[in-house]
Chain A
């Protein structure tokens, strides 16, 4: 049954391009308007229409004007509910799409930033077999998870925004395929050897200790006022902050693509990804050396994300 329906849908899309006019990737923000909102009765809506017809014929046959009035009332409400369904989508904005981080094989969080000036109730978003329902008023983030398979750029599949508000009699929907790709990090290998640490690295261990001044850098919000280099700042346009070298608690890792031998590219990437994950877990500083670029020594989530993204983008 399900397969037949999908087959039918595929056929309809082939034969009736107007149904799926928005199959080309489009730029954000996406504004839903009357030219791209479609509306048809649901199965229940069709059945209810048949019931209304029965009621109409019955009341006409029995010349029962009160019943006719009631039937007209229900029919008119049905018609208005169609307009309400349309109005729920009309004017809705998909302002931006952001993505979280995920390694290949794990679902990635995609966040749709929706906007509407008035309240829209019971809006649903279907993307790649997952479905969420939400109300929109003002601005709202809608989070869905979509499965991933490979590292690298993942173009968002097309998604459908739809609603059967208010009574489930009509379904208004629109298809959309935003020109947005999300980056999927490589999948780390399950197990493997720890990174080899060349002697040169241990010799190069920094001698600086915690209180030593290493450099000056630009002020970032959140920096303590006590660390601002006031004298140096006076000579510059921006505030400068004294950057202190942290005490070297752990040995740093130098993760080098060229030092991994005997593996194909994907396995190398998987191994590097695992090392990066371990370093991140242990809070160990590391640097990443790839064939075409190198990432300096660093630690923390931002550094980890940078390294993983670089790995993800390897050819």
Chain B
């Protein structure tokens, strides 16, 4: 270990940012652009990436400062571009667009270590800001990876850092991040959450495609090809079979010839129904920025902080802007509204005048044939869907003004929305009260995680008809055309029409992988103020308030501080075992009053010890010979003699002479 010292040439402290530091800085900036690319306009992303690449190339090939006459117009163009695109420079989207641009501009003037440090810190901040746009597991992991080049930049700015392989340069930062995980988790759990925000957070949320309270064909086809998770459901007990997994969201009452819309029914505590086959379940709903809470058909009661309408819609008091969890109970078999209010009946029969004459004619014909046998009419229409040459497709031909006529008698192709809409129109035309219900159907049962994953592509629309004596009955006309849609799910029903990443093996792998997303959602994103308060319930504290959490946090930090300090203070034992044993002997002798003086050789010292402790002359003499031999006789002492010496030192106990 200790060899001949080699002379070091004084290395002066660098005043210029090295190429490697600059590369790392550019890498951090590239990460920032990548994680923000999702919400920046594409042309801004492209321009910034181009500017970054140009600057990187320029500093490498033509090292010179970027002149001021170039920097100032670039800044002005950036501000102008942001203002033109967003209208102002404040708020989440314009703010982060501006900041990402400023970071790239900052790199054009980063020549001193100080600038480089500031730029890397700014990159860290922007990485965090990217999480405000989406806090999924992958997004967070990518952002955390982006910290590596920023931290490596700081490290490379320290003196004596010679550029090595890039991976080696990133390694220390990775080690540091991993080492800080325990403290991170502890503080994440214990930092008291705010019960109400300090300032308004009602930023205009980007509209995620989700169910809407209007139903028109274009919305739905977009939804059916979107495979982002909509919700995850766990059931108390066995999950219901696929054919019964109908999650109702909106109930559409009003039809204007083109699209359906919901109606505000009175709020009720419980629905007027007789029910059997209750099932309890918990839902983790992804943010929708709407009020609606999808419920398994049919909900018994509204969950906390929400209310139920008479038609079975459940709306939350506040829009679902964050991941929301709720528990509910539903009835699998029911009779709903066996008595129908005349006003409601009229509403459930209303059709716009002057539309779809052929449909009306056909409905009247059916009415004539079946008389008061309404169930007969229903099954006749379903038979027509099944045998009348209808097909299921996500890309149907466009429909004309009389949409239902066109669909029923001309194009005969479409997806759930077309079937539910036209079926309901036929029912109403035939004098049977009917309404459209939208929601989700099916989903993927993750047997490993024991939960049901429902994606946006599982969105579905069906009908409810009111039959005398039976109340509202769920009829799914799509199932008549394509039974797989209900038994297997949307993806298999539309096989061959979905993008490649939603098909086959890959799809099933993605479904399995979703369990990790769910754990992330439940463990991290869903860890809100409420869950935090219940954190200490297992330890007998019912309600951990902010001061309690702060105290716990302080205790935790102190504990980790002790661990960290003992690590920092821990010394590796001396490299040379013979020397270490000699030190132990010195300590023993020092306790007996014979301390080794500075610059006193071992021979002199031990001779002095023999004079001071004449009773142990033999032992000490033996120890001295042993040590001299170990240290000076051979280059590499034999392990046996070494062990013998250490043993002898351990056994030696000085007797103090009086």
Whether, in the assembled complex, B650 has its beta carbon less than 8 Å from a beta carbon of chain A, the answer is no
9-residue interface stretch from B176-184, B327-335, B345-353:
B176-184
B131–A133 contact, CB under 8 A? no
Residues of chain A with a CB closer than 8 A to B188's CB: 65, 68-69, 72
Set A34, A47, A57, A111: member contacting B121, Cβ < 8 A: A47
Residues of chain B with a CB closer than 8 A to A86's CB: 568
A61–B176 contact, CB under 8 A? no
How far apart are the CA atoms of A134 and B12 in the complex, in Å? 9
Known contacts: A63-B528, A131-B13. The answer to whether A73 contacts B158 by CB under 8 A is: no
| Count of A interface residues, CB-CB < 8 Å | 67
Shortest C-beta distance, B647 to chain A (Å), equals 25
Set B129, B157, B197, B564: member contacting A168, Cβ < 8 A: B157
A139–B187 contact, CB under 8 A? no
Set A44, A47, A55, A141: member contacting B6, Cβ < 8 A: A141
9-residue interface stretch from A77-85, A201-209, A245-253:
A77-85
Shortest C-beta distance, A214 to chain B (Å), equals 37
Known contacts: A167-B151, A168-B117. The answer to whether A64 contacts B132 by CB under 8 A is: yes
How far apart are the CA atoms of A65 and B322 in the complex, in Å? 11
Residues of chain B with a CB closer than 8 A to A122's CB: 158-161
Set B2, B191, B322, B526: member contacting A139, Cβ < 8 A: B2
Residues of chain A with a CB closer than 8 A to B154's CB: 166-169
Residues of chain B with a CB closer than 8 A to A138's CB: 1-3, 5
Residues of chain B with a CB closer than 8 A to A281's CB: none
Residue of B nearest to A125 (CB): B10
Whether, in the assembled complex, A256 has its beta carbon less than 8 Å from a beta carbon of chain B, the answer is no
Give the one of B114, B147, B158, B191 with max A CB within 10 A: B158
Known contacts: A80-B564, A144-B10, A166-B172. The answer to whether A69 contacts B184 by CB under 8 A is: yes
Whether, in the assembled complex, B447 has its beta carbon less than 8 Å from a beta carbon of chain A, the answer is no
Residues of chain B with a CB closer than 8 A to A118's CB: 572
Residues of chain B with a CB closer than 8 A to A54's CB: 125
B180–A76 contact, CB under 8 A? yes
Whether, in the assembled complex, A164 has its beta carbon less than 8 Å from a beta carbon of chain B, the answer is yes
Shortest C-beta distance, A128 to chain B (Å), equals 13
How far apart are the CA atoms of A208 and B75 in the complex, in Å? 88
Residue of A nearest to B189 (CB): A72
Residues of chain A with a CB closer than 8 A to B528's CB: 63, 65
Residue of B nearest to A83 (CB): B568
A133–B201 contact, CB under 8 A? no
A90–B144 contact, CB under 8 A? no
B567–A135 contact, CB under 8 A? no
Whether, in the assembled complex, A197 has its beta carbon less than 8 Å from a beta carbon of chain B, the answer is no
Within 8 A of B (CB), among A39-78: 44, 47-48, 51, 54-77
9-residue interface stretch from B135-143, B312-320, B622-630:
B135-143
B176–A141 contact, CB under 8 A? no
A79–B572 contact, CB under 8 A? no
Within 8 A of B (CB), among A162-213: 164-169
Shortest C-beta distance, A279 to chain B (Å), equals 30
Give the one of A47, A70, A71, A168 with max B CB within 10 A: A70
Residues of chain B with a CB closer than 8 A to A292's CB: none
A75–B187 contact, CB under 8 A? yes
Number of A-B contacts (CB under 8 A): 195
Set B7, B12, B135, B568: member contacting A131, Cβ < 8 A: B12
Set A56, A73, A115, A142: member contacting B177, Cβ < 8 A: A73
B143–A70 contact, CB under 8 A? yes
Residues of chain B with a CB closer than 8 A to A57's CB: 198
Whether, in the assembled complex, A298 has its beta carbon less than 8 Å from a beta carbon of chain B, the answer is no
Set B118, B143, B160, B198: member contacting A134, Cβ < 8 A: B160
B568–A67 contact, CB under 8 A? no
B8–A143 contact, CB under 8 A? yes
Residues of chain B with a CB closer than 8 A to A71's CB: 128
Whether, in the assembled complex, A102 has its beta carbon less than 8 Å from a beta carbon of chain B, the answer is no
Whether, in the assembled complex, A10 has its beta carbon less than 8 Å from a beta carbon of chain B, the answer is no
Set A70, A84, A135: member contacting B128, Cβ < 8 A: A70
B3–A72 contact, CB under 8 A? no
How far apart are the CA atoms of A164 and B158 in the complex, in Å? 7
Encode contact with A along B546-568: 1 for CB under 8 Å, 0 otherwise: 00000000000000000011011
Set B5, B143, B144: member contacting A141, Cβ < 8 A: B5
Residue of B nearest to A145 (CB): B10
Residues of chain B with a CB closer than 8 A to A164's CB: 158
How far apart are the CA atoms of A121 and B161 in the complex, in Å? 8
Give the one of A122, A133, A169 with max B CB within 10 A: A133
Residues of chain A with a CB closer than 8 A to B185's CB: 72
A62–B191 contact, CB under 8 A? no
Whether, in the assembled complex, A27 has its beta carbon less than 8 Å from a beta carbon of chain B, the answer is yes
Whether, in the assembled complex, B193 has its beta carbon less than 8 Å from a beta carbon of chain A, the answer is yes
Shortest C-beta distance, A109 to chain B (Å), equals 10
Encode contact with A along B1-45: 1 for CB under 8 Å, 0 otherwise: 111111111111100000000000000000000000000000000
Whether, in the assembled complex, B155 has its beta carbon less than 8 Å from a beta carbon of chain A, the answer is yes
A143–B131 contact, CB under 8 A? no
B1–A72 contact, CB under 8 A? no
Whether, in the assembled complex, B527 has its beta carbon less than 8 Å from a beta carbon of chain A, the answer is yes
Set A62, A79, A80, A130: member contacting B201, Cβ < 8 A: A62
Known contacts: A117-B572, A122-B160. The answer to whether A141 contacts B7 by CB under 8 A is: yes
Shortest C-beta distance, A178 to chain B (Å), equals 14
Whether, in the assembled complex, B525 has its beta carbon less than 8 Å from a beta carbon of chain A, the answer is yes
Shortest C-beta distance, A248 to chain B (Å), equals 38
Whether, in the assembled complex, B469 has its beta carbon less than 8 Å from a beta carbon of chain A, the answer is no
How far apart are the CA atoms of A303 and B197 in the complex, in Å? 82
A77-B176, A139-B3 are known; give 14 further A-B pairs, CB within 8 A: A34-B569, A61-B194, A63-B201, A63-B322, A66-B136, A67-B132, A69-B524, A73-B180, A80-B179, A113-B5, A117-B1, A124-B159, A140-B5, A143-B10
Query: 27 A–B contact pairs at CB < 8 A?
Result: A27-B598, A44-B114, A60-B193, A61-B197, A62-B132, A62-B201, A64-B132, A66-B135, A66-B140, A67-B135, A70-B128, A70-B143, A71-B128, A72-B185, A76-B183, A77-B180, A80-B564, A81-B176, A90-B571, A113-B5, A117-B572, A131-B13, A132-B8, A138-B5, A166-B176, A167-B154, A168-B157
